Amino acid sequence: MKKYLKNIIFILIIAAYVICCCFQAPITNSVGTMWALLPPIVAIGLALITKEVYSSLFIGILTGGFLYAVSETYFSKIIASEGIFNAVGAGFTRMFNAVVNEGIIANIADSYNVGILVFLVVLGAIVVLMNKAGGSRAYGEWAAKHIKTRAGATLSAFVLGVLIFVDDYFNCLTVGSVMRPITDKHKVSRAKLAYIIDATAAPVCIIAPISSWAAAVSGTVKGVNGIQLFISTIPFNLYALLTLIMVIFIAKTNTDYGPMRLHERNALKGDLFTTRNNVYPEDDAPSHSKGKVVDLIIPVVILIVFCVLGMLYTGGLFETDPEKHAGLVEAFANCDAAYGLALGSIGALIINIIYFMCRRVLRFSECMEAIPSGFKQMVPAILILVFAWTLKTMTGMLDASGFVSGLVENATAVQVLLPLILFVVAIGLSFATGTSWGTFGILIPIVIGVFEKPLETVAATGVIPPLVIVCISACLAGAVCGDHCSPISDTTIMASTGAQCDHVNHVSTQLPYAMTVAAVSAVGYLISGFTQNVFVVLGVSIALMLAVLIFIKLATRKSS
């Protein structure tokens, strides 16, 4: 019975939500109501129950298509003009048009999404090249000599994740490919590696002034210096800061709880995966034994440099026309991350092929074989991404964001509780839709609207009101938290891909850790509503986070 208790709970939650939807609005009025959040709730619930992410996402997509097809306005017109039977047939047509044409095909055809898929495939090819050349093996042997402990391996992954702060996609895949050999040597579970990667992706990017995330945030605020506002939010971004503290504490003290504890125990016995270790293909065996550490370091450095240059190029840094030319910070703010990453990775692939051939560790034919092999490595991630993007499209067609923004606008009267409310709502919206950028893109304009009059003085004084900074920080922190937890988030998918960990395993092991930080952050935002003093808010939050972690450590030690 204990085995099925969690599944029963998830089923009851989904059923309770459907009942609440029925009380709020009829199913034929699904657009802009509680019904709009049902598709992601179904997909996430089924994924946690069945452990099958592909089928769960697809059922969530079908749920969204069905709700969209039975929308009241559409059906009333068809029924009135053609009758109920024709309306049912037209409903099926509309449902599958929404799912296949407006959903799957439209997302695959989207230029931004294609750029991300190209980057994925090219990065997979570069990883295969490094493995074939023996660079990954040589780096693993070097790390085994210099990194002596499991704590050292996990901290090394953490440090590398912090250093690669430019973009979360790039962070996840690069850190994963570099650190897998090292964490495997020290028997760190793939679930733990995926958590570390995920915890140093979005949470680091959201507090890095030069990153694609800083650019996205600064672009949502009009009439205020976006970068200045972004930098002001960093000390109040409690979720991101506390997540980094938690990763360091867990690595140093070897403290684990929840499902992660089982994964780590099994890893010490030699089972790095615990379940479904065949989700990703095995890395190609080295073709040559003369590969050296530089055969991993140099390709990674080339990849980093070219991807950064690609992003700056798309942002206008290298434009010769003075009107189009942008400075360094402005170029990051204006960059097209997908195009830049695709451009940079393709350039890096070409240079790396030349490098390996000049080093005579790989022949041209072996380099060409790496390209389809790299594609195969990324097939699971591509499938999940396409389904996740399509599910987001369904929630967009049902106007889930409009429903949530309406709830927030109704809650703005209680300004003391506004930071906490925004944080919680942002978590829910980001978790359900799988997009942090979309979440703060919706919520930040609402905050700006609430504080429109105080912001009118910013241009004259140059001082942004403290409560505005706290509220925007709460939006950003909640968006990152929901993104960190959501099975349909791009970053979560990339983290499990980088670690080559089963996606459902990654989500289920990470969730208790993320929720612990979220609970402490919620207390911090409750305090921030009464005092916007950064030293009080941040100091109390850090102290509470450490106290909770010490309590967890003592509790897990007693139960072991």
What is the tens place of the pLDDT at every residue in 7-50? 777 788 888 888 888 887 777 777 878 888 888 888 877 877 77
What does pLDDT average to over the chain?
80
Question: Are 145 and 197 in the same domain?
Answer: yes
Residue 263 lies in a domain: no
Q: Residue 338: is its pLDDT beyond 60?
A: yes
Q: What is the pTM of this model?
A: 0.74
pLDDT of residue 354: 92
Question: Do residues 306 and 340 lie in contact, with contact meaning Cβ atoms separated by under 8 Å?
Answer: no
Boundary residue ending a domain (109, 137, 156): 109
Q: Residue 239: is its pLDDT beyond 90?
A: yes
String of b and e for 143-175 (b: at least 16 CB within 10 Å)? Answer: beeebeebbebbbbbbebbbebbbbbbbbbbbb
Residue 145 lies in a domain: yes
pLDDT digits (tens, 9 = 90+) for 473-486: 998 999 899 888 88
Question: Are 349 and 416 in the same domain?
Answer: no
Q: Residue 365: is its pLDDT beyond 90?
A: no
Residue 8 lies in a domain: yes
Written as one letter, the residue type at 212 is S
Q: Residue 522: is its pLDDT beyond 90?
A: yes
What is the distance between the alpha carbons of residues 198 and 483, in angstroms, rounded to a whole number?
Answer: 10
In Å, what is the CA distance from 430 to each residue of 166, 424, 477?
21, 10, 11
Q: What is 72-123 written as a DSSP string?
A: HHHHHHHHHHH-HHHHHHHHHHHHHIIIIIIIIIHHHH-HHHHHHHHHHHHH
pLDDT of residue 232: 83
Instruction: Indicate the length of the chain as a whole number.
Output: 560
Question: Are 408 and 300 in the same domain?
Answer: no
Residue 266 lies in a domain: no
Residue 183 lies in a domain: yes
- What average pLDDT does range 60-69 have in this prediction? 86
Q: Residue 460: is its pLDDT beyond 60?
A: no
pLDDT of residue 548: 94
Residue 23 lies in a domain: yes
Q: Residue 551: is its pLDDT beyond 90?
A: yes
Question: Are 382 and 398 in the same domain?
Answer: no
Q: What is the largest CA-CA distance in the chain?
A: 77
What is the distance between the alpha carbons of residues 142 and 330, in angstroms, rounded to a whole number?
Answer: 40
Q: What percentage of the chain has pLDDT greater than the value 70? A: 81
- What average pLDDT does range 118-141 have in this prediction? 79
Total structural domains in the chain?
3
pLDDT of residue 86: 63
Boundary residue ending a domain (343, 363, 390): 390
Range of the domain at 519: 393-559
In Å, what is the CA distance from 18 to each residue of 68, 91, 214, 368?
16, 21, 37, 52
Burial of 546: CB neighbours in 10 Å, binned 0-12, 13-18, 19+: middle
Question: Are 76 and 92 in the same domain?
Answer: yes
Which among 45-54, 106-115, 179-188, 512-521 has the top mean pLDDT? 512-521
pLDDT of residue 298: 86
Q: Residue 60: is its pLDDT beyond 60?
A: yes
- What are the structure tokens assigned to 261, written together? 């504890």
Q: How far is CA 280 from the centre of its chain?
A: 20
Question: Are 522 and 552 in the same domain?
Answer: yes
pLDDT of residue 512: 92
- What average pLDDT does range 288-293 have in this prediction? 69
3-class state of residue 341 by DSSP? helix
Question: Are 403 and 349 in the same domain?
Answer: no
Q: How confident is the model at residue 451 (pLDDT cuts 50, 70, 90)?
A: low
Residue 239 lies in a domain: no
Which among 256-260, 282-286, 434-438 has the top mean pLDDT? 256-260
Q: Residue 450: is its pLDDT beyond 70?
A: no
Q: How confident is the model at residue 242 (pLDDT cuts 50, 70, 90)?
A: very high
Question: Which of 314-323, 389-398, 499-508 shows the lowest mean pLDDT across its residues?
Answer: 314-323
Q: What is 345-368 written as a DSSP string?
A: HHHHHHHHHHHHHHHTSS-HHHHH
- Which residue is it, tokens 């505005």? 468
Q: How confident is the model at residue 121 (pLDDT cuts 50, 70, 90)?
A: confident
Question: Do residues 186 and 195 lie in contact, with contact meaning Cβ atoms separated by under 8 Å?
Answer: no
Count H helices and E strands in the chain, helices first. Answer: 29, 0
Q: What percentage of the chain has pLDDT greater than the value 90? A: 14
Question: Are 103 and 181 in the same domain?
Answer: no
What is the distance between the alpha carbons of residues 88 and 96, in angstroms, rounded to a whole number?
Answer: 13
pLDDT digits (tens, 9 = 90+) for 395-440: 888 877 777 767 666 655 566 788 888 898 888 888 877 777 777 7
Which residues lie closer than 8 Å to 258 by C-beta, 6 or more apart?
509, 511, 512, 513
Question: Are 351 and 495 in the same domain?
Answer: no
Q: Residue 464: is its pLDDT beyond 90?
A: no
Question: Are 60 and 207 in the same domain?
Answer: no
Q: How confident is the model at residue 541 (pLDDT cuts 50, 70, 90)?
A: very high
Question: Are 357 and 467 in the same domain?
Answer: no
Helix spans in 219-293 (H)? 226-233, 238-253, 259-268
Question: Are 105 and 130 in the same domain?
Answer: no
- What average pLDDT does range 284-299 have in this prediction? 71
Q: Residue 550: is its pLDDT beyond 90?
A: yes
Residue 271 lies in a domain: no
- What average pLDDT does range 310-335 have in this prediction? 76
Q: Closest Cα to residue 13, out of 47, 57, 55, 45?
A: 45
Stronger pLDDT, 172 or 99, i.e. the higher one = 99
